Chains A and B, each alone.
Chain A
Amino acid sequence: MLLIHCPYCNETLPEAEFTYAGQAHIVRAEDPSSQSDDQWEEFLFIRANVKGPHYERWRHFHGCGRYFNAVRDTVSDKFLTTYEAGAPRPDLASLTEGQK
């Protein structure tokens, strides 16, 4: 079972309280009707599917209910960090293994 740190509740809790919500930092276009088919494909369907540190969203479903972001290594399943939604993408180099 993963242990996940909710940046809002500031607690590290079992995975069962959380739901996974896919890749993070995918921004919906300001003006959707301006988008080409290629851009829609990219936005809706194409995913990084990284083997290694992955920027992703989680929701503290059975807690505060809020969405937040995380960087998790998809090979070890270890969380490198979690941070509030809307915060800038943390720099990978500055993240050390196991940090919360």
Chain B
Amino acid sequence: MTRFNAFSLLKNALSGNKNWTEQWPDSQPKDEYDVIIVGAGGHGLGAAYYLATQHGITNIAVIDKGWLGGGNTGRNTTIIRSNYLYDESARLFDHAVDLWQDLSQELNYNVMYSNRGVLMLAHNVHDVQSFKRHVHSNRLNGVDNRWLTTEECKEYCPPLNISPNARYPVMGGALQQRAGTARHDAVAWGYARGAAARGVDIIQNCPVTAIRRNADGSVAGVETGKGFIKAKKVAVSAAGHTSVVMETAGVRLPLESYPLQALVSEPVKPIFPCVVMSNAVHAYISQSDKGELVIGSGTDQYTSYSQRGGLPLIEHTVAAITEVFPIFNRMRMLRKWAGIVDVTPDRSAIISKTPVSGLYVNCGWGTGGFKATPGAAHTFAWTIAKDEPHPINAPFTIDRFRTGRLIDEAAAAAVAH
């Protein structure tokens, strides 16, 4: 692996950028690994990276049915924030936001983390009360979040329509200044490059068709498009397909998979300085460094694996965006797409051991797991290496749906990313 630095950039620029070596090899599977990770999204690749760098485990394969980062990691609207209501969530997401701060330096790869601030708009009295409650709860947990008046919102985000006659009047907002965005692909690529440099095999275009178990019930390995591969431990991080993969090991989960859509506009000059979310109208917007407006919506109402999603939702989202930001009502939209997100009943993730010895699962990130990528990967790696959870992910078990100790962000109205 060539390290990126001023000298290597200059040297390669002078030779027309023709002499860069490949960033990771396209590996073929070996017969056996210490750990097999199913799913080469940011979470799976990140877990491999932390297993290698922090736990000295390098005999690892990360296997994906498609290309790495081609799942939700490469499809999301990249909003990063940690102002969740409950203590458990605040700790997990704030751990991730801590790791985001110097992830580019850690990986020697520019993930373009930009803490431009995330502003959540309140449109009605209930929003105001609920967001203020979040602000207070966050502050008690040491998580950055503060209340802005209507005028302060306008000052922070000038394209905002704050007219009292607006269809969605802005009654204030909660601003997390430390929050922002990052370049999604770069996160997957950075972790892939870092993991591969330490000996991890990244195997693409290779679906895992079944998890095999030994006679004593423990995990034996995985059946794949390239044959059976033996493993001491198997860790599933397959987002929308987690139910399908885990079912083959006899583990049934509290998950439902829904399409979640996003769209981008034609690129324009810098106009939008921050990220704005509106839970009430289910619309999220920011501007990418390329200049496109990046717009996200809520999930479709029905479960699906079609990775398409319906147009009514896009219409609803764009209608809401042009109400809140009338300045954009003549922008042309370039393309829309969907990812399949795995949603839990309490809208909190699962990073957990399973009833099967040697089998681990990281799932249930639903509409909002990109922001958690470094934190999820770090605590998942810990759980796999030590066969016990890190204190931060300890509450995020599968078992909570039996014991009733839910982490009910759903009820806390954190419907969004």
Interface string of B283-314 (1 = CB under 8 A from A): 00000000000000000011111101011100
| Total chain A interface residues with beta-carbon distance under 8 A | 25
Q: Which of A1-40 contact B (CB under 8 A)?
A: 1-2, 15-16, 19-20, 22, 37-38, 40
Q: Which of B181-189, B205-213, B250-258 contacts A (4 or more CB under 8 A)?
A: B250-258
Task: Assess the B241–A47 pair: CB atoms within 8 A.
Answer: no
Task: Assess the B402–A15 pair: CB atoms within 8 A.
Answer: no
> CA of A22 to CA of B257 in the docked complex: distance in angstroms?
11
> CA of A51 to CA of B401 in the docked complex: distance in angstroms?
23
Given A41-B402, A44-B345, A45-B254, A74:B305 Cβ within 8 A: yes
Task: Assess the B252–A19 pair: CB atoms within 8 A.
Answer: no
Task: Assess the A15–B303 pair: CB atoms within 8 A.
Answer: no
Question: Does B327 touch A at the CB level, under 8 Å?
Answer: no
Question: Does B348 touch A at the CB level, under 8 Å?
Answer: no
Across the interface, which residues of B come within 8 angstroms of A46, CB to CB?
252-254, 401
Q: Is the interface of B mostly helix, strand, loop or mixed?
A: loop
Q: Which of A46-67 contact B (CB under 8 A)?
A: 46-49, 51, 54, 56
Shortest CB-to-CB span from A44 to chain B, Å, is: 7
Task: Assess the A38–B402 pair: CB atoms within 8 A.
Answer: yes
Across the interface, which residues of B come within 8 angstroms of A40, CB to CB?
402
Across the interface, which residues of B come within 8 angstroms of A44, CB to CB?
345, 401
Task: Assess the B302–A47 pair: CB atoms within 8 A.
Answer: no
Task: Assess the A77–B244 pair: CB atoms within 8 A.
Answer: no
Across the interface, which residues of A come within 8 angstroms of B301, CB to CB?
19-20
Which of A2, A41, A49 contacts B401, CB < 8 Å?
Answer: A41
Across the interface, which residues of A come within 8 angstroms of B304, CB to CB?
74, 77
Which of B302, B345, B401 contacts A20, CB < 8 Å?
Answer: B302
Question: Does B165 touch A at the CB level, under 8 Å?
Answer: no
Nearest B residue (CB) for A41: B402
Shortest CB-to-CB span from B235 to chain A, Å, is: 20
Task: Assess the B306–A74 pair: CB atoms within 8 A.
Answer: yes
Given A1-B310, A76-B306, A49:B403 Cβ within 8 A: no
> CA of A56 to CA of B257 in the docked complex: distance in angstroms?
13
- With A20-B301, A22-B256 already in contact, 4 other A-B pairs whose C-beta atoms are closer than 8 Å: A15-B312, A47-B254, A49-B253, A74-B303
Give A residues with C-beta under 8 Å from B. Answer: 1-2, 15-16, 19-20, 22, 37-38, 40-41, 44-49, 51, 54, 56, 72, 74-77
Give B residues with C-beta under 8 Å from A. Answer: 241, 243-244, 252-257, 301-306, 308, 310-312, 345, 401-404
User: 4 tightest CB-CB pairs across the interface, nearest first?
Assistant: A45-B254, A49-B243, A20-B301, A41-B402
Q: List 26 A-B contacts (CB under 8 A).
A: A1-B310, A1-B312, A2-B302, A15-B312, A20-B302, A22-B256, A38-B402, A41-B254, A41-B401, A44-B345, A44-B401, A45-B345, A46-B252, A46-B254, A47-B243, A47-B254, A49-B244, A49-B257, A51-B241, A51-B244, A51-B257, A54-B303, A72-B302, A77-B302, A77-B304, A77-B308
